[in-house]
A and B are shown apart, each in its own frame.
Chain A
Amino acid sequence: DGGITQSPKYLFRKEGQNVTLSCEQNLNHDAMYWYRQDPGQGLRLIYYSQIVNDFQKGDIAEGYSVSREKKESFPLTVTSAQKNPTAFYLCASSQQGGDTEAFFGQGTRLTVV
């Protein structure tokens, strides 16, 4: 079945650590996105990529980094510079162009301990 797989589902980070969230898709989509979700704030765009080896900052990119070495993969690293990383992270993908919806993974809940 085609879809988007995020792993792990739950992740715990100690203060000062970098952690990487995985996102893989087999939908052959060109565009991929990372969103952060906090209660009452909806989805905020962290980074997006419309083609391999290229990505752009979203609204809240500070303290995060990404790579897009393969079409299928778009990992997100939460660095120690992100002061408030506890949140629910959602990865999505879509075809290029506005007339297509985004498909979402099941999310990763990151907690700082």
Chain B
Amino acid sequence: AQSVTQPDIHITVSEGASLELRCNYSYGATPYLFWYVQSPGQGLQLLLKYFSGDTLVQGIKGFEAEFKRSQSSFNLRKPSVHWSDAAEYFCAVGASGGSYIPTFGRGTSLIVHP
């Protein structure tokens, strides 16, 4: 079965600083990988996704993520964080064959200091 690990429960950065949120997955074949963002009391919004091809994926709101097969990682990055980026971030993995049931990590809470 697939699984996702987000090792950081909380991340605190200053506004304007760079950001990297870590995600490691476990899956036997090539996975489908996603990053979602959740504002308090809201649903999840897709930031970006990786299915195949270029391992560096661009998303909305200036985010990008890099798929590294050798490290089983899909880390999310942003070069300059804005106060509005404060939210909960979830990494997810989907199976590349058969039925698709997204499996989510526990989430990383991003705190942005002014």
Contact = CB atoms under 8 A, between A and B. Distances in A.
Pairing of A with B = yes
Interface of A: 4, 6, 31, 33, 35, 40-43, 45, 48, 50, 58, 88, 90, 92, 94, 96-107, 109
B96 A98 contact: yes
B95 interface: yes
A42 B94 contact: no
Interface residues of B, number: 29
A107 B105 CA distance: 18
A100 B46 CA distance: 11
B-side binding surface: helix, strand, loop or mixed?
A: loop
A42 to B, nearest CB: 4
A104 B95 contact: no
B25 interface: no
Interface string B36-70: 10000111111001010000000000000000000
Contacts of A94: 100, 102
Interface in B91-108: 92, 94-107
